[in-house]
A and B are shown apart, each in its own frame.
Chain A
């Protein structure tokens, strides 16, 4: 080959490869909003929004004057994957003149991809399915909008906050600068879901009543063990995190999924304390230890897989398990296939009362929406905010995303009761239908359906869910703790001490419950917690709380 040509070809290749080495060096960072920007942009907060105009604008349909499209992150759940037969996006576009451009993310790794996209500045403008608390990591970089600054553009959202008295609940998501960064799903009333599932037919057979308190749970289990000594009457799933989370508030503490950072608010003294070292927590641990010691609770509950626990219950090797309403229906269906209908009866109990009373802890805020800071640069910015308000918070928008289109997917009778069209099935309604509301049409999906009025929520509940809500209606709802408004530096300091401390608490909790560590070593445990900084974090938390209390007014 011609030497010159050869050299030219090789030289070009070398240059282009070297150039690629520098591809990664680009413009430094993305547009980061400084504090000055956000305050300058729009100063109205929810509290000072002009009252006039709020009432009349809520409930009005939204239609953009000029058609535009906005990008949105879409969580693709495998049980109802995104399909081209879905009509939900077309219907939204018909009503609002807004096209949603989806970035599809498999739900198995939704959080990771979301973090990646936000960190690299590629995030879509609307980021739904964000649990309050998970937006905190994105605040310091300025990648997400302080949405509380813009709620004056959201009449439907504001109306729901006002009607359902959610102002104090919203304080839960407030940050150190007095703003909040996620638009939470709003519930008129808390939804109850996790509780104990018990074999009612076995209880009836042994002449036992369904327990209403944790002491009664102990009695029932003891009676069952006497009659069935070869099995553990209670074998739990979710590594007991679900049931301890439900039980803990009735003992005055937190545990399981709700263990959190170890702080608990005492309204009497208006202070935070570290609950794992309190007497209440010792009693709580003693209760579970007693269940395990006397052979009433399967020690494998703390470690076995959900499938193993479910199998034991389905095969009659246990009579009590924790469950949520969907899982209960699932178990019911499986047992009907295995044992036959009528051969058994299940009861999804209201959560038992405890030493602190017939109380329950539940938040009325659920997962919601973040808006990327880049949205501010979009010429349709205000319309985007109004669109989000309509789609997720107006009655009309919520009905559309939950039920679909009247006349096509559902019909309404004169009293306002909604029923699905005969061929469409969902959540146990119209079991013979060939089309599924969610799988085939895309309505009722977890990307749009958050919260809502009690009426709307119950309209789609099956009998089991409805009876559970009703049976728990007279429980006393514990008040929410006020938030501690950490700034970024304080939060980092706090976490540095708190994370290893809570790891120790969780490990010891397991040991105490199982009995591998006797409760007589309680004082050692308390001392060790203090050595690991329990007092220090309580002091820090209280200091910050006292200093920032005024912001919460």
Chain B
């Protein structure tokens, strides 16, 4: 057994205390949310719900899950996430691989062009005009194509591919593999960690996105569940004009319905995360080290 010094012990104690506090601070809001969603509405309004549900009821969940548009939204979110992640992964990989090769003609220009977009953006209206002119408005493509390549992820992937030993690819080409063959048979199998990480990044980003849907989609049948959620949380809060004569100021959406919807929307990501966590940790570091 290695003898541990006293100062190290002290450090350990402090470390644990701080870490536990961080865990509590980040975990408590979620715990509160879950408690709220299982509680009776009146207890929530009276402020009596803290850690665990009061007046335990599953009625709220039944009500939320009985909403047709909640499920339509959920289906849309799943479809958009899967398709968007697939397209994003494909496009980011081939672009990153190409950029990682120093012999690419016009590489500096392409790199500069890409980095430029990290800092400057056309703005909402020009983006909207492009999407509309290309006929993508009010279709799934508006959700999936505009954000397909995230330059940040692209740079990480490029760095990763650069770190692959060139000798490996040279040996493969000597053996007769074409460029695409090398990519498919040698590089990709070795890139599993980074692919998993990128898939996770893209998937979470797409799952949570609502702004694109809000801008480009007009039909309620196409809305993702996050937009539905946003409307529930923010929609009934409007304070109207000074003379407030709106006949619309009806009962706000119950806090319990909001929390139940939030829990249901976050659930899949929560379930998937523990399994891909290891890739996440190694993958993020992978892109940063140049060998």
- Residues of A near any B CB (own CB < 8 A): 1, 20, 23-24, 26, 76-83, 103-104, 106-109, 112-113, 116, 119-120, 122, 131-133, 185, 187, 190-191, 193-194, 238, 241-242, 245, 256-258, 260, 307, 310-311, 314-315, 324, 326-327, 329-330, 334, 337-338, 362-363, 366-367, 427, 438, 444-446, 449-451
Contacts and interface: CB of A to CB of B under 8 A. Distances in A.
A154 to B, nearest CB: 21
B125 A193 contact: no
A20 B134 contact: yes
A1 B178 contact: yes
Nearest to B47: A311
B232, B248, B255 interface centre (most CB from chain A within 10 Å): B248
A24 B130 contact: yes
A79 B252 contact: yes
Given A109-B230, A367-B246, 14 more contacts: A76-B235, A79-B253, A108-B231, A108-B233, A108-B235, A113-B214, A132-B241, A190-B245, A193-B245, A194-B244, A324-B249, A327-B249, A330-B252, A334-B46
Contacts of A242: 244
A81 B69 contact: yes
Given A116-B124, A326-B249, A238 B239 contact: yes
A446 B245 contact: no
B65 to A, nearest CB: 15
A18 to B, nearest CB: 12
B47 A315 contact: yes
Nearest to A239: B239
Given A311-B47, A330-B252, A133 B241 contact: yes
Contacts of A23: 130, 133-134
A193 B244 contact: yes
A30 B248 CA distance: 34
Contacts, number: 148
A106 B239 contact: no
B103 interface: no
Contacts of A116: 124-125, 128, 215
B47 A120 contact: no
A366 B239 contact: no
A77 B235 contact: yes
Contacts of B255: 307
Interface string B94-134: 00000000000000000000000000001011101110111
Contacts of B126: 24
Contacts of A367: 240-241, 246
B130 A78 contact: no
A330 B246 CA distance: 17
A315 B48 CA distance: 10
Given A78-B235, A190-B245, A366-B243, A104 B45 contact: no
19 contacts: A24-B130, A26-B133, A79-B253, A83-B68, A104-B219, A106-B230, A108-B230, A109-B234, A116-B128, A120-B125, A131-B240, A190-B243, A193-B244, A238-B239, A257-B244, A314-B45, A315-B46, A315-B47, A338-B42
Interface of B: 40-43, 45-47, 67-69, 122, 124-126, 128-130, 132-134, 178, 180, 214-215, 218-220, 223, 227-228, 230-236, 238-253, 255
Nearest to B258: A78
A127 to B, nearest CB: 14
B45 A191 contact: no
Nearest to A254: B242
Contacts of B232: 78
A444 B214 CA distance: 26
Contacts of A112: 214
A458 to B, nearest CB: 12
B214 to A, nearest CB: 6
A311 B45 contact: yes
A133 B129 CA distance: 27
B129 A107 contact: no
A143 B132 CA distance: 18
Contacts of B128: 116, 120
Nearest to B248: A446
A190 to B, nearest CB: 7
B233 A311 contact: no
A104 B218 contact: yes
A268 B126 CA distance: 51
Contact of A122 (B132, B180, B242, B246): B132
A23 B219 CA distance: 24
Contact of A78 (B41, B231, B244): B231
Contacts of A24: 122, 126, 129-130, 133
Given A76-B231, A116-B128, A119-B125, A260 B46 contact: no
Contact of A108 (B45, B47, B129, B234): B234
B233 to A, nearest CB: 7
A311 B44 CA distance: 9
Leading 10 A-B pairs by shortest Cβ distance = A446-B248, A106-B231, A108-B234, A337-B42, A108-B235, A258-B242, A311-B47, A107-B235, A257-B242, A78-B235
Contact of B45 (A120, A245, A334): A334
A257 B241 CA distance: 7
A465 B66 CA distance: 32
A190 B245 CA distance: 8
B231 A446 contact: no
Nearest to A452: B247
A242 B239 CA distance: 10
A82 B218 CA distance: 13
Nearest to A185: B245
A326 B250 contact: yes
Contacts of B215: 113, 116
A451 B46 CA distance: 35
A81 to B, nearest CB: 6
A107 B246 CA distance: 14
Contacts of B45: 307, 310-311, 314, 334, 338
Given A23-B130, A24-B129, A78-B231, A366 B245 contact: yes
A132 B43 CA distance: 39
A78 B253 CA distance: 7
Contacts of B47: 311, 315
A175 B235 CA distance: 31
B243 A363 contact: yes
Given A79-B236, A83-B68, A334-B45, A104 B247 contact: no
A307 B47 CA distance: 9
A245 B242 contact: yes
Contacts of A78: 231-232, 235-236, 253
